[in-house]
Structures are given as C-alpha cells and as structure tokens.
C-alpha cells in the first residue's frame, strides 16, 4: 500500500491547487472562494521517484460551528488519522491567523510528521513576510507558490525524506468500479455512507454538497470494488457557475472509470427529465446500470404502491428495460443491504463471455423466427456472430450487406440475445460487418 499524504489547512489557502500541482493534472476543483473542496479527495501520485496517495481535504476551520464547516473539519481530522505525512498549508498573503495557530496546536498532538507549508509566496518580497510563520514555534517553514510551481521540487524532497518506505507492489485482483450517479440532493452521499458503514463523504441536505468525484476501495464477498461518489449532475443549460461545470465533468469522468452505476432517484419527486438525462449519460457510455429509488420511507404507500411505481419507472426509462430496480432508504437502511447483491449480479453479466457456437445457435434461431428484411432487392443473410469483448459484452455479426440491417432488426437481435443469455442490467453492443471473401 502506498504511503498517504494529507493536505490540510483553512479554506481558500490553495490546498486544491497544490493537490493538482503534485498530481500533475487537474483533478480537484479549484475556485477562488472558500469551501469549494468539501470531501476528502484521493489520488495516486506516481509521477515522482517515490509514489504516494494524496488526500485533498475540505478547509479546517477549528472555531466554526456552521454545520457544513463542522463536517469539513471532521473530514480533515479523518484524513489526518489516515495519513503517514501531513502537509499543513497556510496563506502567505494573509499572514499567520489565529485559525492557523489553532490548527498547528492540534497537529502538535498528532504523532506523525508534519510539513508546514506557506503557499502564495511568489518571490523574495513575500519570503520576508513569510518569516512570521516561524511564530508557530516550528523548525522549518517551506515556502511555495502552487499556482506557479515555485518551491514544489524542494517540497517534494522534504516529503520524500518523511515518507515511510514503500513495500513491494503486489498485483491487485481485478476490481469492479461502482459509480453512484444522479441529480443533486437525491441522497447519493448518504447511500455511499450506508453501503460502506461509516461517514465516508459529507452528507448534507443542501443540494450540490458533493462537487468532486470521491473514490473508496472496499471488499465485498472477497471481491474488490471501488465506490465512486460522483457530483450531482445538472443539465448544461442550468449550470450557472463555472464551479458546477467542473462538477459535471467530474461526474462524467466518474462514469468513464466505472463498470456499474447506481442511478439514484428521489422517490418523492419521482422521475424527472434530469434523471433521464443523467441515466442517458450512463447508457451512452455502455455501463451496467441499477436503478435505485431512494427515500422510499418517505412515500405514503399501500400494497399496490411499489408495483405502480415500478410500472411508471419502466415507462419512463424505456431505454433501460434491462436494468434491475431496487427501492431503498439510505436514511433508515431499508433494503440497502440488497444493493451489493444486485451489483454482483450485474458485474457478472458485464463480464460474461459466451461461446461462438452458443451465439450462432441463437442467431440462426432468430433468423428462422423472423426473416431478415430485403435490402437493394436482396434478402439480408447473416453468416455468423462472435464475441469480441466484455465490459460491456460486445459482438460482431458478419452479414452480406451490413448497411442494410435496419434499426428495428438490430433491436430484435439484441432482445433475442437477452432472452437467451440474460445480460440483466448491462448494455449489449453489436457491430455489423460485411463478410469479405
């Protein structure tokens, strides 16, 4: 396991900019107002001579009682508990503040190495001002400019001296990446916390609390998973702040990395156009999909309610007729335990590989049951089918005129494959090619 480095400090001192500088690419959201990064944010940094896991945290405000800032402080404390090395970042332009002194006091009680980093020091004039940070009673202050890269190499050298030796890397077993997607405030973070069994991400009734995608590895039934809690996605036309635009990108990247997605829907609000829009992203990307109707405990119901809701769900999500649906409450834990069982099933289907003989038997039976259409005066002829990939299951069908296979017949063949082989919750991709002689 790689050593862990946590970046902590007050809001808006440049922690996320430093995170991105060390990582070498833009991962954390960076905006020039406080409180942008609200969850711990992980990344493996392998571009330097010593690899490590980097955690970017929400701002540490030790004296604040505002609920969101209190949660951000708790997240920072959790990151400190997980870390092998702590980078305490302060703002060289603002100077030493009482909050900095209080955070430093807390870090003195932690039996872990701490590097005291003064950010936003762009030249020699700021260097002189940064001397006041020695008032914290520390032996060394490292001055940097995360934005311009000044002092980063010196910081890295100091980090390498403090990091524990990295044990030999063992090859991990194949893992399944699971993304939790949906509109803002449908309960994604609460669901993540309930699945994992502890408060991994900030769960707050304010819409849009989660703005970055957050990864958490875990094991279920001896199988490795990575849970990705994505930012709430809004329609592009309604994304007013630049910050929210980054959130959409992060969520889409979360889906890019996922194999299976949990599409979370608010049971009280029902299916909205935005839900269909979000699910459409996942379908286009060819991901396994499970529909999770959350807040089911808040719906007034009788013995018919679930059946009627499920019927309406199927009508709304016509393009996801193959996706399983589960009704849960992240708040009470109702049926949440069943989610991972569904994930296992969908993951198995996502990785399913079939024999060529079984595939061609189904293709032949489908042709006999429903004759292919005519194209340019000739009957289409399907020669054979073979599977080319998994994740998602992908096939190539060889035909005399590939361009003549109408969409309706393509859909017919997909349905026949589903009848024969299942593929619950996963897309089926079929490419049609001319057979060359």
Tens of pLDDT, residue by residue over 10-34, are 888 999 899 989 988 655 444 454 5
Nearest to 278 by CA among 188, 347, 154: 188
Confidence of residue 201 (pLDDT cuts 50, 70, 90): low
Q: Are strands 41-45 and 4-8 parallel, antiparallel or unpaired?
A: unpaired
Reply yes or no on whether the pLDDT at 114 is more than 90: yes
**Mean of pLDDT values over 227-251:** 50
- pLDDT top residue among 80 and 71: 80
By percentage, how much of the chain surpasses pLDDT 90? Answer: 49
Read off the pTM: 0.59
Nearest to 182 by CA among 231, 216, 254: 231
Reply yes or no on whether the pLDDT at 331 is more than 90: yes
Confidence of residue 314 (pLDDT cuts 50, 70, 90): very high
Q: What are 249's two structure tokens? A: 């990108």
Q: Which of 202-206, 223-227, 253-257, 333-337 has the highest mean pLDDT?
A: 333-337
**Using an 8 Å Cβ cutoff, are 336 and 194 in contact?**
yes
Strand order in the sheet with 85-91: 41-45, 52-56, 4-8, 85-91, 114-119, 141-143
71, 301, 302 from 305: Cα distances, Å: 36, 5, 5
Q: What are 275's two structure tokens? A: 């839900």
Domains and CATH numbers, the chain: 4-162 (3.40.50.300), 175-350 (3.40.50.300), 356-434 (3.30.300.20)
Q: Would you call the peptide bond into 392 cis, given omega within 30 degrees of 0 as the criterion?
A: yes
pLDDT digits (tens, 9 = 90+) for 374-396: 999 999 999 999 999 999 999 99
β partners of residue 272: none
DSSP 3-state assignment of 324? coil
* Cβ atoms within 10 Å, residue 168: 4
Lowest mean pLDDT among 153-167, 192-206, 389-403: 192-206
- pLDDT top residue among 285 and 298: 298
Lowest mean pLDDT among 116-125, 141-150, 235-244: 235-244
**Using an 8 Å Cβ cutoff, are 188 and 182 in contact?**
yes
Q: Are strands 325-327 and 288-294 parallel, antiparallel or unpaired?
A: parallel
Confidence of residue 168 (pLDDT cuts 50, 70, 90): low
CA angle 128, 130, 135 (to 5 degrees): 115
Q: Torsion over CA of 21, 24, 26 and 30, rounded to 10 degrees? A: 0
* Cβ atoms within 10 Å, residue 30: 19
């Amino acid at each position: 396991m790689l050593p862990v480095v946590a970046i902590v400090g007050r809001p808006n001192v440049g922690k996320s900019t430093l995170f991105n500088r060390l990582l070498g690419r833009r991962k954390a959201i960076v905006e020039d107002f406080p409180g942008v990064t609200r969850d711990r944010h992980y990344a493996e940094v392998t571009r330097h001579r010593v690899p490590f896991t980097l955690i970017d945290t929400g701002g540490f405000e030790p004296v604040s009682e505002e609920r969101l800032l209190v949660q951000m402080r708790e997240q920072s404390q959790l990151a400190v508990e997980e870390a092998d090395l702590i980078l305490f970042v302060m703002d060289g332009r603002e100077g030493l503040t009482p909050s900095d002194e209080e955070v430093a006091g807390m870090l003195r009680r932690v039996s872990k190495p701490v590097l005291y980093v003064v950010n936003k020091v762009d030249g020699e004039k700021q260097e002189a001002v940064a001397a006041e940070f020695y008032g914290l009673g520390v032996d060394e202050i490292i001055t940097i400019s995360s934005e311009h890269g000044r002092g980063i190499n010196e910081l890295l050298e100091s980090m390498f001296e403090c990091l524990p030796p990295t044990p030999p890397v063992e090859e991990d077993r194949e893992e399944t990446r699971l993304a939790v997607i949906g509109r803002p405030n449908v309960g994604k973070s609460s669901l993540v916390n309930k699945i994992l069994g502890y408060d991994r991400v900030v769960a707050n009734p304010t819409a849009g609390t989660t703005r970055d995608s957050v990864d958490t590895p875990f094991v279920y039934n001896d199988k490795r998973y990575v849970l990705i809690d994505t930012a709430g996605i809004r329609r592009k036309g309604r994304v007013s702040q630049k910050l929210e635009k980054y959130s959409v990108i992060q969520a889409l990247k979360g889906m890019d990395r996922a194999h299976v997605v949990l599409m979370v829907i608010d049971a009280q609000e029902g299916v909205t156009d935005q839900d269909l829009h979000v699910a459409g992203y996942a379908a286009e990307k060819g991901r396994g999909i499970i529909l999770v109707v959350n807040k089911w405990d808040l719906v007034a119901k009788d013995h018919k309610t679930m059946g009627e809701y499920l019927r309406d769900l199927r009508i709304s999500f016509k393009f996801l007729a193959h996706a399983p649906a589960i009704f849960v409450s992240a708040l009470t834990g109702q049926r949440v335990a069943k989610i991972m069982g569904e994930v296992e099933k969908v993951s198995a289907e996502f990785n399913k590989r079939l024999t060529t003989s079984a595939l061609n038997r189904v293709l032949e039976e489908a042709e006999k049951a429903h004759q292919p259409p005519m194209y340019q005066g000739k009957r289409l002829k399907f020669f054979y089918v073979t599977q080319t990939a998994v994740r998602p299951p992908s096939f190539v069908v060889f035909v005399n005129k590939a361009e003549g296979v109408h969409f309706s017949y393509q859909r017919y063949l997909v349905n026949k494959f589903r009848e024969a082989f299942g593929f619950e919750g996963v897309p089926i991709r079929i490419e049609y090619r001319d057979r060359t002689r």
